[in-house]
Amino acid sequence: MSQRPARKGAVLVIDDSDISRAEMMRVLEEAGLEVIGLASPIGATRVILTGSVCAVVIDIEMPSLRGDRLAALFRGNPRMAGVGVVLVSGEKNEELTRLAIEARADEAVSKSALSGLPDAVRRAMARGESQRPFRGEDV
């Protein structure tokens, strides 16, 4: 993990591909963000609610639960209303955008354009900040 962003909060990266997850984490860490990685959506809710996660980067194509469905579940949970959501995929941009809109994600980034991931995460974090309920000292 590298230095924290100016504001307290980590980015949770969920991707079943070790290579893709490591690459996204590297890009985010090099941008100065604190990053946590999970290989599966299992346990993600617990990590978000018990930690100081301010944004989640979710791969769409995962075997146990599609990322767009996971994002929609997060959006349906009032306790996660303030968590920024970024969907990533190798899908064509039009399909990725459509899935992100349907899941109510804040941002969508193609895996072929990961250099834009840190900015997308920061925008998602900023949007989430305005909706984030008071959680004491981050629960």
**Short-list 111, 9, 8, 19, CA closest to 58:** 111
What SS3 class is residue 43? coil
Residue 110 lies in a domain: yes
Residue 106 lies in a domain: yes
Residue 4: is its pLDDT beyond 60?
no
- CATH number of the structural domain spanning residue 92: 3.40.50.2300
Residue 10: is its pLDDT beyond 80?
yes
Residue 114 lies in a domain: yes
**Global confidence as pTM:** 0.85
Residue 139 lies in a domain: no
Q: Which residues of 68-100 are buried (b: 16+ CB within 10 A; e: fewer)?
A: bbbbbebbeeeebebbbbbbbbebeeeebeebb
Residue 15 lies in a domain: yes
d(CA 90, CA 67): 12
Residue 2 lies in a domain: no
- Residue pLDDT, tens place only, 36-93: 999 999 989 999 988 789 999 999 999 889 999 999 999 999 988 889 999 999 878 8
Average pLDDT over residues 86-103: 89
d(CA 50, CA 95): 33
Q: How many domains does one find in the chain?
A: 1
Boundaries of domain holding 84: 10-131
Query: DSSP secondary-structure letter at 132?
Result: P
Quick one: pLDDT at residue 131? Answer: 59
Quick one: pLDDT at residue 53? Answer: 93
Residue 16 lies in a domain: yes
